[in-house]
Homo-oligomer: A and B are copies of this chain.
Amino acid sequence: MVDVAREAGVALRTVSRVVNGDATVGDELAARIRTAIDRLGYRPDVRARQLRSGRTGTIGAAVRHIADAHPVLRAVDETAREAGLTVVAMSTEDDPEREREAVMSMCGRRMDGIVIEPIADGHQYLQPEIDNGLAVVAFDRPATGVEVDTVLSDNRGGIRQAFAHLAAQGHRRIGYIGDDERIYTGHERAAAFRHCLREAGLPVEGRVHPGPIDDRRIGAALESLRRGPEGVTALVTGNFSTTVAVIRALGPDFGSLALVGFDDFGLADLLRPGLTVVAQGEREIGRTAIELFRARLAEPARPVRTVIVTTSLIVRGSGEIAP
């Protein structure tokens, strides 16, 4: 920048004005400065600018995998962009330590705030940063140990939709396989399913199989659900990975029992039969996250809010197989 100023024969501040589009610079000077900028290949240093001016206009997104399909992240990115914010994403790989690293790295870059898909069990470490003015929005799962704005899916409602859909077709022996109950969504969904069974006056025993996402574990759960004369005629799977593992385990039997999966995905309609799913409102979740974020930035002291986004049932065939 000094070089540009010298080249154009003006003061530093004037170059700064031109770079920032300040109108109060004479046309002739401005042109001369722009020429100098081009000739020298000058590029303003964002870091120095931020250092001096305070705000960064940047929001960090700490998500499971930046390299996986992530509709919420997509909506976050788009919405933030429309609001003139830059989104920088980092992976947590579902590892509490990496989550912390990512968040700390974002704090070190003095981002205006972060949007986080929490993993770790205690997020107390966020408290000092929040006190320091960091805006934090959690989505998909709540953060623990701190109070932050949160966007969640209606997990219980979604399970209810799936169950009611199958029950309405006359299924009475319905099973559930899903994620580990130590994970928030895994717990919510398994608990909601148990609740549905009880409410319908059906036995719970042996019908609900939460646990780690592992082909062997899921194969065994499926086996146990289908075995014997009381074997299930319908199945609800608790998330995308479980759904895929179950379809794989079913092999040619896919289509012989009714199946509704939690989470929609791009190729669900190409399966035979097409997969009936409970879809989360991912775009809405992302949009809401950015809304809460901006509201917090505008008014740091406002009370913390939690928004629940509804799910919807998408009928494609696999859930409409008779008992």
Q: Is the CB–CB distance between B267 and A244 below 8 Å?
A: yes
Residue interface mask A57-86, B partner, CB < 8 A = 1: 000000001111111011001000000001
Return chain B residues, CB-CB under 8 Å to A90.
88
* A272 contacts partner chain B, Cβ-Cβ < 8 Å: yes
List chain B residues, Cβ under 8 A from A71.
67
Choose one: B77, B91, B272; the contact of A91 (CB below 8 Å). Answer: B77
CB distance from A62 to the nearest CB of B (A): 13
Stretch of A2-10, A100-108, A212-220, A288-296 lying at the B interface: A100-108
> What class of interface size applies to chain A in its complex with B?
35 or more
CB pair B69–A104 under 8 Å, yes or no, is no
| Measured CA separation A46–B88 after assembly (Å) | 15
Interface string of A247-288 (1 = CB under 8 A from B): 110000000000000000111011110000000000000000
In the complex, what residue of chain B is closest to A42 when comparing beta carbons? B128
B86 contacts A89, C-beta separation under 8 Å: no
A88 to B89, CA, bound (A): 7
Q: Which residues of chain B are within 8 angstroms of A105 by Cβ–Cβ distance?
A: 46, 86
Interface window among A26-34, A47-55, A231-239: A47-55
In the bound complex, CA of A265 to CA of B271 (Å): 14
> A43-B107, A108-B44 given as contacts; is B86 within 8 A of A77 (CB)?
no
Query: Can you list 19 contacts pairing A with B, beta carbon distance less than 8 Å?
Result: A41-B129, A43-B108, A43-B132, A45-B51, A46-B109, A47-B47, A47-B48, A47-B109, A48-B51, A51-B51, A67-B71, A77-B91, A88-B89, A244-B267, A247-B270, A248-B270, A267-B267, A271-B271, A272-B272
A136 to chain B, nearest CB (A): 15
B46 touches A108 (CB 8 A): yes
Interface flag for A195 (CB, 8 Å): no
With A66-B77, A67-B69, A77-B66: A104-B272 Cβ-Cβ less than 8 Å: no
* Shortest beta-carbon distance from A74 to chain B in Å: 3
Q: How close is A99's CB to chain B, nearest CB, in angstroms?
A: 15
Closest 3 CB pairs of A and B: A67-B74, A41-B128, A47-B47
